[in-house]
Amino acid sequence: MHVPDGFIDAPVSLAAGAVAATAVAVCLRGARRELDEKTAPLAGLVAAFVFAVQMLNFPVAAGTSGHLLGGALAAILVGPCTGVLCISVVLLMQGVLFADGGLTALGVNITDMAVVTTVVAYAIFRLLVTALPRRRPSVTAAAFAAALVSVPAAAGAFTLLYALGGTTDVPTGKVLTAMVGVHVLIGIGEAAITALTVGAVIAVRPDLVHGARGLARPLELRTADGTVIEPIVSTVAPRPTRRIWAVGLVAALALAGFVSYYASSSPDGLEKVAHDKGIDSKAEDHAAKGSPLADYQLEDVADERISGGLAGVIGVGTTLAVGTGVFVVVRRRRASAAARASSAEAV
């Protein structure tokens, strides 16, 4: 659903940019509460993983494909504020390095794909987790439902932006019907990927899943009448965070460097709707179309499979580096603020 340059006019694009910048600023502050010494590096990995999975377009209908948006997945794994930042980093890397999503439309894409999907998904997720029994399957089920709804919600948000500043005269009703219709199907794929990923992490390290915090309770010895004797403290150490990080990185590199070659080549939901309805009649060339990584192909490498694989690996590495750097800085600023507060109280 990467919106290219020329779909939305300049005033609305600027307004969306202002909304995106405000949301990112708010989330930078909010992420300080969500990140700790364990989750800051993992947040960078989540961004890299989302980048990798977004390269895997899957077929959803005749001549149409879809790909992960990632807002629900990121929010559930590392928190809603950090999730917005994760997707924003991914969109920035895609726009600047790979000419995917317009540069003048970056604010539109962050507002739509990072803010809307994350906020909608996390709100639904928290509502369901509160209502369902506090068990691991409930978290996975809530993740599925949240991801499913977040995708057509993003399609609706794009339609609203188009209604406000679309550069073509296609009726808004037709755009809404087409966008929501195809993105409901894409949402099923998004939901499956999100639920499988969240379920896999919960099975190994539930303490690393933001949306599952407080889920595990210590075992207790009880008498016949139900009186608690004492809690049972587990002596089994959790698997090292570095091992989880390494497994996740290998998975992301494999998906981007190898599996992506087998992704569907059909246009995604927005591209298909834009072509069929004529929304793309005023699309503009990407400012970074001459990038050596444009269209996820490494320049001067003739073999398409090797070219795409290398571009994917570079993308994962760059997104990981930028994302980890951002989140480590945010975490350190939180630690510095806590130290200053502690010193002030001591005085």
pLDDT, tens digit, 9 for 90 and up, residues 179-235: 999 999 999 999 999 999 999 999 888 888 999 887 655 545 566 666 655 555 554
pLDDT at 134: 85
Residue 148 domain boundaries: 10-215+240-341
pLDDT at 340: 57
User: Which pair of structure tokens corresponds to residue 316?
Assistant: 């994962």
pLDDT at 207: 85
Q: Whole-number mean pLDDT of the chain?
A: 90
Buried b (16+ CB within 10 A) or exposed e, 78-108: bbbbbbbbbbbbbbbbbbbbbbbbbbbbbbb
Cα 82 from Cα 30, distance rounded (Å):
8
pLDDT at 345: 57
Which is nearest to 2 in space by CA: 119, 84, 75, 98? 98
Q: φ, ψ for residue 231 (rounded to 5)?
A: -75, 150
**pLDDT tens-digit series, residues 326-335:** 999 998 876 6
Average pLDDT of span 260-268:
95
Q: What CATH number did the domain enclosing 325 receive?
A: 1.10.1760.20
Specify if 1 maps to a domain.
no
Q: φ, ψ for residue 266 (rounded to 5)?
A: -70, 150
Specify if 52 maps to a domain.
yes
pLDDT at 338: 56
Specify if 27 maps to a domain.
yes
Q: What percent of the chain has pLDDT over 90?
A: 77
**pLDDT tens-digit series, residues 45-102:** 999 999 999 999 999 988 999 999 999 999 999 999 999 999 999 999 999 999 999 9
pLDDT at 216: 53
Cβ-Cβ contacts under 8 Å for 23 (sequence gap 6 or more): 84, 110, 111, 114, 115
pLDDT band at 36 (very low <50, low <70, confident <90, very high): confident
Number of domains in the chain: 1
Specify if 105 maps to a domain.
yes
Would you say residue 343 has pLDDT above 80?
no
Specify if 16 maps to a domain.
yes
Would you say residue 238 has pLDDT above 60?
no
Specify if 220 maps to a domain.
no
Bridge-based pairing state of the strands 64-66 and 219-222:
unpaired
How wide is the angle at C-alpha 122 spanned by C-alphas 41 and 108, nearest 5°? 85
